[in-house]
Structure 1
């Protein structure tokens, strides 16, 4: 029972349903991991041990009378500390919100609870999910950044403190930490999961992210949270498919478009060679790997993302920023100031270019099941003053397309390297299927040796 923390979402939920383990036993195993290692990793802001165990006992009592709430019954999950959770502080790791206790759950958190999940606690985020590094350490090497902004969520999943955690992505805040910590990071299609009750950074970019140790577990989490929410203007009013069924329906080698343009130019030689080796392995397993180009509008994507993010951050933070500027870190402060100085004409132009890029990139992906590229330019940098480079995620975030990062191997320095796959909008299930096929071929499930 002492190694229950190794269980993923699917296996833990199955064993709870079958009565092989209890939710209390699983929760105690995870809480022990947190108590043992969080002084080193600093992944958590708030963990209420007694509340977690009380909820676990309630889930066990429900199970004992055959009342299984859903696919996550009895499984504890972490929340990035920007997700509202009724009665529990949501600080966004900022002095501005240090005493804020929401009176309701974010819609996605409520849906996780309806699926049977237990809130394990609130994981560290960079301040307001922006660029100022957090205190969290990378479990693979504490001298290297864990990434951001979902740094605590990623480190906690990687080190076995939970099998799944919520993050968010406005630029690269789910995919990059997943890559640096050797885990899976899913950014669904924009509008697929409600952001109501999530502290915003940029409302037209913000996307709920999912951090797990397997593609299947990411699919289960997506299934639990996907759906229309009229409280969120960005939410998409469309039926929710069976993502697990769609994932499993990908039962043949996929057609994959390898994108070398831009991504290889920005990558280290080691990452370029590694990604080519990944493509060869997939091709040897039967995948049709073709080279896919990028549209001309890709050249404007990163600037469009920066303009959009900074202006919308300035709009949200204006009142607090004017009253308490010194309570903002230097990077989010610079972003807000840049947003305030950006003209309405420049913002409108960025949105026009964004619309064109989205159309162009969707067209570029026609004819392939998914695009493949490196997840990051290099493994986690040996620099705690940065969260790394989000450039390989931000175009997909700007376009609202689904993207997933999966571990694909190790660097010569002993750090994880990852591949990123991107797909067509609203084809999240198909993307998950391609990612699971690649995951099976690559067999690169990783675990940091310092936290066995």
Structure 2
């Protein structure tokens, strides 16, 4: 591959090439920076980028390689970090003027893990305001008149535009899956609590996940494998054996997976292009997919999610409310006003529903390897005043189940239309294996 095209390498291929001495990290980072210079004026994926700092990291990693020192699985591979994730050497401003100039004293746990694995932290990608709905400056790489989604808009767009092979986000209500679908990349929301969240802007302990973006299933597995762990500062994580994401995702399933096609409680919001595309998908999969109806309680999940999210966001952003509510966007200010009025009884009842809902889905996951369902109402909407409707991801975020979206279809306007797979809690590696099977099945 020509040096000018190295930015399109997958993370897995790039790591192998660096390890084998075929390329250097500096060459890869230079190619990514060249692509950023070319595409950034239109896409606007980056909130903070210091090219010299990125190159300095790459040169230091190349020197380690020449000295024969141990190298991590992501040695020399550049990646983008959403601007709600703390970085000790770069600002983390959370998409709000209230945090302008904020530079943390230490890395978030996941950033420290990435550095330990040898990743080059390229810069900070654009987020919506406090990772909520108010859009940032980023445009969809496929058509700048359309939204890239949110809140991880810059992360998804940077990967889709070939600026970096990997990026990190943090979904609370579809903020990873939806922009991945809109931008035509792979997005992965692991099981709630699988990856520690210390050092990431906290909106909702019950709903915050860590999101991953890449251009292949193999890369999602490689990245996830570096990040799973226990952190006593995140009480939703647990000590656990290392999950063999890469090996499991690369395996052939012991038998072709069985999928459950779920329209979900908001199917009435699905665009015609989505209805037609999923009808064709079901027909293509034949006897490997069965359409099922969800329990009646699934319809109430959106209200329970809203109660939890609004109450917890109002509490977690209390300092911002007291310090500068007049400088918050109207959508965020309205959410916090509603959250401050939620009764403790209603909040606790909504929290209790999460466990009951998961028990109800146990029977489905005993029969099926995964659920297949849309990640969004359709392809990326035109206009930049909204990041799109997150409702197709709300149920799965509330449940804390792993979800992955693959760029396997296109909408009527030619923009990407993702296919979302949802698996049982802690079935993350097997879900990636199922997703890989589906990609191979549809691309053959």
- 1:339 aligns with 339
- Aligned-pair CA distance for 1:364: 2.7
Contact 2:228/2:243, CA 8 A, preserved across alignment: no
Of 33, 36, 48, which residue of structure 1 is paired with 2:35? Answer: 33
Report matched runs for 1:318-337 at 5 Å: 318-337=318-337
> How many residue pairs get matched?
441
- Aligned-pair CA distance for 1:362: 3.1
- 1:61 aligns with 63
- 1:93 aligns with 95
TM-score (norm 1): 0.95
Contact 1:263/1:374, CA 8 A, preserved across alignment: no
RMSD: 1.4
Q: What per-residue deviation string (whole Å, max 9, x for no partner) do you get for residues 404-433 of structure 1? A: 011112122111111100000001000000
Of 22, 42, 51, which residue of structure 2 is paired with 1:20? Answer: 22
Contact 1:365/1:423, CA 8 A, preserved across alignment: yes
- Aligned-pair CA distance for 1:86: 0.8
- 2:284 aligns with 281
- 2:439 aligns with 439
Q: What per-residue deviation string (whole Å, max 9, x for no partner) do you get for residues 66-87 of structure 1? A: 3242110100010000111112
- 1:155 aligns with 157
- Aligned-pair CA distance for 1:390: 0.7
Contact 1:250/1:430, CA 8 A, preserved across alignment: no
TM-score (norm 2): 0.97
For 1:3 and 1:106, how far apart are their aligned partners in 2?
31
For 1:164 and 1:38, how far apart are their aligned partners in 2?
16
- 1:266 aligns with 269
Partner SS, residue 409 of structure 2:
strand
- 1:349 aligns with 349
For 1:385 and 1:106, how far apart are their aligned partners in 2?
30
For 2:168 and 2:40, how far apart are their aligned partners in 1?
18
Matched, 1:378 2:378: yes
- 1:449 aligns with none
Q: What per-residue deviation string (whole Å, max 9, x for no partner) do you get for residues 114-165 of structure 1? A: 1110100000000110011111100111111110000000110000010010
For 1:143 and 1:384, how far apart are their aligned partners in 2?
7
- Aligned-pair CA distance for 1:292: 2.5
Q: 1:28 to 1:254 in 2, by over 3 A?
A: same
* Segment of structure 1 superposing worse, 290-299 or 301-310: 290-299
For 1:221 and 1:269, how far apart are their aligned partners in 2?
35
Partner SS, residue 405 of structure 2:
strand
Matched, 1:174 2:188: no
- Aligned-pair CA distance for 1:200: 1.1
- Aligned-pair CA distance for 1:313: 0.7
Partner SS, residue 3 of structure 1:
helix
Partner SS, residue 34 of structure 1:
helix
Partner SS, residue 365 of structure 1:
helix
- Aligned-pair CA distance for 1:263: 5.2
